[in-house]
Amino acid sequence: MYSEKVMDHFNNPRNVGEIENASGVGTVGNAKCGDIMRIYLDIDEDSKIIKDCKFKTFGCGAAVATSSMATELVKGKTVNEALTVTNKAVMEALDGLPPVKVHCSLLAEEAIHAALWDYAQKNNIVIEGLKEPKADIHDGEEEIEE
């Protein structure tokens, strides 16, 4: 049911944890299952390259695997290039996910966007093509999306 790559990233998730004094932090909730994902970004001020990215989640195995892959994919990219790391791109990199698990892969994409938004707000910059996150949850203040 799951590809080898999904199983690999589930069994050995990359980039789990937190980044102290992160450049941007994004926390989102999944409207379908209520699971939560937080992404931390460490961004180089001059080059705007994402030097490091870590995640923490209350999500399922598919959320762990997709976030692990997504964090690997955004590392080394600029904040603009990071927008190309969509849930579709992540699923492709993992050789697919079962249809019922597609919503889990959205958590990583949305949390990355929320972290980029947080970074942009803190630094007063505009990241072309980045929209304000719909379901960002700040420190326990929950917003449930329909």
- Among residues 25, 50, 104, 137, the one annotated as catalytic is 104
- Among residues 31, 33, 102, 120, the one annotated as catalytic is 33
- Give the separation between CA 37 and CA 30, rounded to whole angstroms: 8
- Give the separation between CA 40 and CA 58, rounded to whole angstroms: 15
Structure tokens at 121: 């707000």
104 is catalytic: yes
Supply the DSSP symbol for 100. Answer: G
Structure tokens at 135: 């379901």
Residue closer to ligand FES, measured from CB, 85 or 106: 106
Residue closer to ligand FES, measured from CB, 23 or 67: 67
53 is catalytic: no
Residues contributing to the site for ligand FES (CB under 6 A): 30, 33, 35, 59-60, 62-63, 104, 107
Q: How far is the CB of 51 from ligand FES (least distance, A)?
A: 27
Q: How far is the CB of 49 from ligand FES (least distance, A)?
A: 29
Q: How far is the CB of 39 from ligand FES (least distance, A)?
A: 14
- Give the separation between CA 140 and CA 135, rounded to whole angstroms: 12
- Give the separation between CA 61 and CA 100, rounded to whole angstroms: 13
Q: Which residues contact 78 (CB under 8 A, 6 or more apart)?
A: 47, 48, 49, 50
Residue closer to ligand FES, measured from CB, 31 or 93: 31
Catalytic residues: 33, 104
